[in-house]
Amino acid sequence: MSVLSLQSVSLAFPVDRDSRRTRLVLDGITLHLASDEFIAVIGRSGSGKTSLLNLAAGFLKPTSGRISVDGEDIGGPGADRAVVFQDDALYPWLNARDNVAFPLKLRGVAKQERRRRAGELLAKVGLESAGDKNIWELSGGMRQRVGIARALASEPRFLLLDEPLGALDALTRARLQQFLLNVWSESRTGALLITHSIEEAMLLATRVVVLAPNPGRIVADIPAGFGRQLLAGKPLQEIKDSPEYRRLHDGLTGLIHTDSEEAA
């Protein structure tokens, strides 16, 4: 089992281009993601959620602190941590299948094998017949599924999900939440999900981490078991009606709410 670790990680950005003054975006973040966990990070805009993901992905370098996988410092982005983006970031010059096969192409996998594995992954995300489709012919929900299949193609140890369902309509979003949960439980990769939605965080994650802004810091790290209940086949409405669900929902809402009053 692998562990992605952030240890006392801080991140500061320059206030503007010419000045030496900096603004602290994240302060003293310590977070360990094991490969059987699903961590959801919630927090208001400006709490540094996306910066946290960009650090874990290696797109940003921490100002201080360590980021490591199994004790080894990450030098930058790597195939062990695949990212799914909010704006899908699929390549429009490739069709759906070639987008999924892209990470395999980078690794020099032969064309026949690439096609076969991409086909399998597309089937896994329920898009087996969409392989030859152009990206712009796909709906937002389908695009995100292609994006997830592409991330899985690089056989990562961790999936980093940057609000992948943020731009979808409510119905598609609900369907894809269930889908994401299934993908995670089958692929046995650790997942780090950035989201605005308390409900989404609670239904998917095994742990919900709350970030408070100015500077971004962890104010709560709460275990949640609703995703596993959902996977075990418990009806969604029953879960949402349960007292534990309501209690956690109220608690998390309170945490984020208090925080916004503080800022105002």
Partner 1 sequence: MSIDAGTIAPAAPVGPEAAQPETVQAKRSHGTLPISLATIAAIVAGWSLASAYGIVSPLFLPSPLTVLKAIYNVAINGFVDSTLAQHTLASLLRIFAALAASVAIGIPAGLAIGTSRIGKGILDPVVEFLRPLPPLAYLPLIIIWIGIGEASKITVIALAMLPPIILSTAAGVKSAPADFTNAARSFGAGRLQILLHVILPGAIPSILTGTRIALGAGWSTLVAAELVAASQGLGFMIQSAAQFLVTDIVIAGIIVIAAIAFLLEILARLLERWFVPWAAHR
Please report whether residue 93 would count as binding partner 1 according to CB under 8 A. Answer: yes
Q: What would the DSSP string read from start to end of 151-193?
A: HHHT--SEEEEESTTTTS-HHHHHHHHHHHHHHHHHHT-EEEE
Task: Using the rule CB under 8 A, give the single segment among 3-11, 88-96, 112-120, 245-253 that binds partner 1.
Answer: 88-96
| H or E, element range at 3 | strand 3-14
Please report whether residue 91 would count as binding partner 1 according to CB under 8 A. Answer: yes
Q: What is the smallest separation between the CB atom of 57 and partner 1, expressed in angstroms?
A: 6
Please report whether residue 166 would count as binding partner 1 according to CB under 8 A. Answer: no
Please report whether residue 75 would count as binding partner 1 according to CB under 8 A. Answer: no
Please report whether residue 160 would count as binding partner 1 according to CB under 8 A. Answer: yes
Cβ within 8 Å of residue 165, ≥6 positions away = 144, 172, 173, 176, 177, 180, 195, 200
Q: CB nearer to partner 1: give 58 or 225.
A: 58
Q: What is the smallest separation between the CB atom of 149 and partner 1, expressed in angstroms?
A: 12
Q: What would the DSSP string read from start to end of 99-138?
A: HHHHHHHHTT--HHHHHHHHHHHHHHTT-GGGTTSBGGGS
Q: How far apart are the first and last CA of the chain?
A: 43
* Residue 2 tokens, joined: 């692998």
Please, what's the largest Cα pairwise distance for the chain?
A: 58
Contact by Cβ (8 Å): 215, 25:
yes
Strand 38-43, strand 190-194: pairing: parallel
Please report whether residue 170 would count as binding partner 1 according to CB under 8 A. Answer: no
Please report whether residue 225 would count as binding partner 1 according to CB under 8 A. Answer: no
Q: CB nearer to partner 1: give 132 or 238.
A: 132
Q: What is the smallest separation between the CB atom of 211 and partner 1, expressed in angstroms?
A: 21
Q: Judging by beta carbons within 10 Å of its beta carbon (0-12, 13-18, 19+), is residue 71 exposed, middle or buried?
A: exposed
How many C-alpha atoms does 162 have within 13 Å on its Cβ side? 22
Q: What is the smallest separation between the CB atom of 236 and partner 1, expressed in angstroms?
A: 25
User: Given candidates 24, 50, 87, 231, which one binds partner 1 under the rule CB under 8 A?
Assistant: 87
Site residues for partner 1, 109-138, by CB under 8 A, read 134-136
Q: CB nearer to partner 1: give 9 or 160.
A: 160
User: Given candidates 28, 46, 65, 78, which one binds partner 1 under the rule CB under 8 A?
Assistant: 78
Please report whether residue 192 would count as binding partner 1 according to CB under 8 A. Answer: no
Site residues for partner 1, 11-70, by CB under 8 A, read 57-59
Q: CB nearer to partner 1: give 18 or 93.
A: 93
Q: How far apart are CA 159 and CA 85, in angstroms?
A: 11
> Could you list the residues that contact partner 1 (CB under 8 A)?
57-59, 76-79, 81-83, 85, 87, 89, 91-93, 102-103, 105-107, 134-136, 140, 150-151, 153-154, 160, 169
